[in-house]
Structures are given as C-alpha cells and as structure tokens.
Amino acid sequence: MISSLYAIFKISLKAIFANKMRAALTSLGIIIGVAAVITVLAVGAATKKSITDRFSNMGTNILFLRQPWDLDESISSPKDITMDDVRAIREVEGVSAVAPYIQTSFDVKYKNTSVSLSALATDTDIFNAYDWTVENGRPFTEKEIDSYAQVMVIGANSAHTIFGDVDPLGKTVVLDNIPFTIVGVTKKTGSTGFGFNMDEGALIPYTTGKVKMNTGWGNSNRRALDRVVIKVEDFNQIENMKVDIANAVRNTHRIHPLGKDDFQLDDMASFVEEAKGTATTISLFLGVIGAISLLVGGIGVMNIMLVSVTERTREIGIRMAIGATSWNIRLQFLVESMTLSCMGGVIGILLGIIFSLLVSKFMSMPTHLSVWSVLLSAGFSAATGIFFGYYPAYKASKLTPIDALRYE
C-alpha cells in the first residue's frame, strides 16, 4: 500500500513539473490566500494583544464619567459634566481618586523650538488615578490649582523633544501665548489615559486651562469638563460602585427618580471589549478576502485538473488496460491535486511569515504568529486540493479503457 502511494506521488510530481509554469500560475491563488490569512491572523492577534495591554496598563478599576455620544432625545436639557460632579463622587465610599479631565492640543514654544503637544487640564488626583509618577521635580499643588498658577508637568518624551539633554525644571515655555513654568517631569509610563499619552503630553491645572487659555478650553463652557476619571478601591465591587456613583451624579443633576440619565459611566472592560470587537471585525473582513483568494485558487486547481484529465486520457486508458482500478485512477488525480495545493500552501505559509515579520519591522506593530494559524492554513490548502480535485479525479476514474484508448 505504501509503495503504491509512493508510486502515485512520484507520478503526480512528474505530471506537475512537466508543466512548471502552468502549475505555478495555478498555485498562485492558493499562495496569495494562505499568505493573506496568516498575515491577517498575525496582525489581528497583535492588535488584540496591544489593545488589551494598553487598557490593562490604565487599570481595570478605572471608570469614566462623560456625556453620552448618542444622547436620548427624551432628555431636553442635559447637564454638563462639571466640578460639582467631581465633588459629589469624591464623597462616595470606595472611591480612591477622582480627576477632572479636559484635553486639547497646543503648540508649546521654547526658544527656537515649537512642538505640538496633547495637553491635559486636570488636578493632582490624575497621578493617583493613572499611577503616573513625577520622576524629576514635583506635581502641581492644590494651592497652585486654586490660584490659577501657570505651571506645567511634562512627559518624559516631550521633555527630551523640547529641551534635549537640558534639565527642564524651572524653564519657561509658552503655551498659547501664555508662559508656563515646568515644575515636574513624569516617569515613562508606556501607557495612555483614554487617548492621552502622558509620555508625549503635558499637564496643567484645570483652573488655568478653563480660565486663562484663549483657545481650546477657553472657548467652551467655562464649567464643563470633557469627562471625569474615577478610580475605585476594589475592582470586585466595581458594579456596585457604578450604581453608587451614578446615584451621586443623578442627585447633582437633579434627575427625577424615574428620569433617564443624561450622562454615561463606562468601565475599562467595556472599552476593551468594544476595541477588541472592532479589531476582530477588521480581521474577519480581511480574512474573508484571503478566503476568497483560496476559493479562486481552488477553482483554478479544478480547472487545471480537468484539463489534465483531458490531456492524459490515453494514459488513463493504458493504465486501466494493464490493471489499474477506478480507485487507483481517482487516487492518482486526487493526490496530484492535493500536492499542487499543498505546494502552494507551503509557499504561502513562508510568504505569510515573511510578510508578518515585515509588518512588525516597518510598521512598529509586533505581530503574533501562532502555530494554530499556520496549521489552519496548511489544512485549508490541503482541503482545497481534495475538495476541488475530487470532481476531476471522479471524472477520470469513470473513463472506460476502450474509450480512453480511442481518444485522440
């Protein structure tokens, strides 16, 4: 049996290499499909891991209070998120940090250097909420917040971009034509706070941002906040905490007991699932494109195998005349079809790995190649050969020796 299969495999390879160009073009669809599937799965896995890591760094015990993006039409006069909400939430038992959050971008100028930075107007609780540490200098104080002081804490990367190797402490930068004194530089965090990268940004007192700035925060409602960042003490109690916090905000907004909330309270889990869901949808969409390439490649394999059956009709007749059974003929063409697909699959796997590494190198996106994705692609390529090769093999096995030998 083994020697028979080996002989069939040798015949298949001989038939394939007899028409190298045709075989290569036939395998092209398989190659593209397999390479696309492996690359998409690698990038998709890396994207999910990156999303999970980024939000995990922010802490699973973080909540965000904000106005809904799709506000219910039945709410005629929704209240802004303000410092009144911050003060009310700070009274809730089990809350360890509550920070106002107002974000925008400004050009920060120092001597001949001008850098666009993402800036956050907040208070001292932001350091506790996100576990940010001032490595050099100090954070701004409550007294500076109350006095609208023009002070700034800057991220590590921002400090290096603006000042190079010069110590930034005590230096004055100009932000929106207003001078600010650098009082602290944060330690590199490698994480973001709801779209804000502290390493690349800067912090100023929220009072200064709301009252003294002429653009960004200054043109909006003087009382309104973008959102409030809330850190709870016990993650296991986060659902109960959401209820207590929501009740505190409802009281501040004077919402009727039967009325609907004019605010939204999100936890990190919802952001993680939403972001991962988006990444999965994109990966599936791209994976479908790869699957279509495999389908097209499979149709190409079937087409070529039908041509091969027609070209080798006399050969089939001779083999039947000397004792080959219908099963022998069917197996020969099935093995040939599967070999053609598997060769394309192997090349596609190698190209998929190479493309994944190139994406990782040139797009600064560490891809994640898994063994199961390679095995899945190999299985798909083999299954494609069997599925699309069966009909040509079946057609060949149904030929009679006399008709086959008389074929011209």
Q: For residue range 131-152, what is the model confidence (pLDDT) as tens digits?
A: 899 999 999 999 999 999 999 9
Pick from 163-167, 196-200, 242-246, 276-280: least confident: 276-280
Q: Is residue 335 part of a domain?
A: yes
Residue where one domain finishes, among candidates 227, 262, 297? 262
Q: 20 and 81 share a domain?
A: no
Whether residue 248 is found in the same domain as residue 285: no
- Domain residue limits at 177: 68-262
CA distance 275 to 280: 9
Over 80: is that where the pLDDT of 186 sits? yes
What is the structure's pLDDT at 226? 87
Task: Write the secondary structure of the chain as one string of H (helix), E (strand) and C (coil).
Answer: CHHHHHHHHHHHHHHHHHCHHHHHHHHHHHHHHHHHHHHHHHHHHHHHHHHHHHHHHHCCCEEEEECCCCCCCCCCCCCCCCHHHHHHHHCCCCEEEEEEEEEEEEEEEECCEEEEEEEEEECCHHHHHHCCCEEEECCCCHHHHHCCCCEEEECHHHHHHHHCCCCCCCCEEEECCEEEEEEEEECCCCCEECCEEHHHEEEEEHHHHHHHCCCHHHHCCCCCCCEEEEEECCHHHHHHHHHHHHHHHHHHCCCCCCCCCCCEEEEHHHHHHHHHHHHHHHHHHHHHHHHHHHHHHHHHHHHHHHHHHHHCHHHHHHHHHCCCCHHHHHHHHHHHHHHHHHHHHHHHHHHHHHHHHHHHHHCCCCCCCCHHHHHHHHHHHHHHHHHHHHHHHHHHHCCCHHHHHHCC
Do 137 and 198 belong together in one domain?
A: yes
Are 254 and 277 contained in the same domain?
Answer: no
* Residues 256, 278 within the same domain: no
Whole-model pTM: value is: 0.59
Q: What is the pLDDT of residue 72?
A: 61
Q: What is the pLDDT of residues 231-290, one digit of tens each?
A: 998 877 888 899 999 999 999 998 888 888 888 888 766 666 666 677 677 777 777 776
Do 91 and 234 have their domain in common? yes
Q: What is the mean pLDDT of residues 195-202?
A: 86
What's the whole-number average pLDDT of the chain? 81
* 79: nearest Cα among 266, 236, 225: 225
User: Per the domain annotation, does 58 fall within a domain?
Assistant: no
In a domain, 267, yes or no: no
Do 175 and 224 lie in a common domain? Answer: yes
- 153 bridge partner residues: 184, 203
Q: Give the per-residue pLDDT at 408.
A: 54
> Are 115 and 36 in a shared domain?
no
Verify that 142 and 204 share a domain, yes or no: yes
169 and 212 share one domain:
yes
Residue of 285 and 116 predicted with greater confidence: 116
Q: Check whether 5 has a pLDDT greater than 90.
A: no
Mean pLDDT in residue range 12-18: 72
Tell me the C-alpha distance between 37 and 380, whole Å.
10
pLDDT tens sequence across 42-82: 777 777 666 666 655 555 688 999 888 776 665 667 788 89
- Asked if the model's pLDDT at residue 395 lies above 80, the reply is no
- Judgement on whether residues 202 and 163 belong to the same structural domain of the protein: yes
Last residue of a domain, one of 262, 286, 301: 262
Read off the pLDDT of each residue in 367-385 and give the average, rounded to a whole number.
Answer: 75
Q: Are residues 345 and 229 in the same domain?
A: no
Whether 208 is in a domain gets the answer yes
Residue 60 lies in a domain: no
Looking at the structure of the chain, the number of domains it has is 2
Q: Is residue 189 domain-resident? A: yes
Determine, yes or no, domain membership for 222. yes
For residues 182 and 154, is the Cβ–Cβ distance under 8 A?
yes
Q: Which residue has the tokens 């109350």?
A: 146
Does residue 61 lie within any of the structural domains?
no
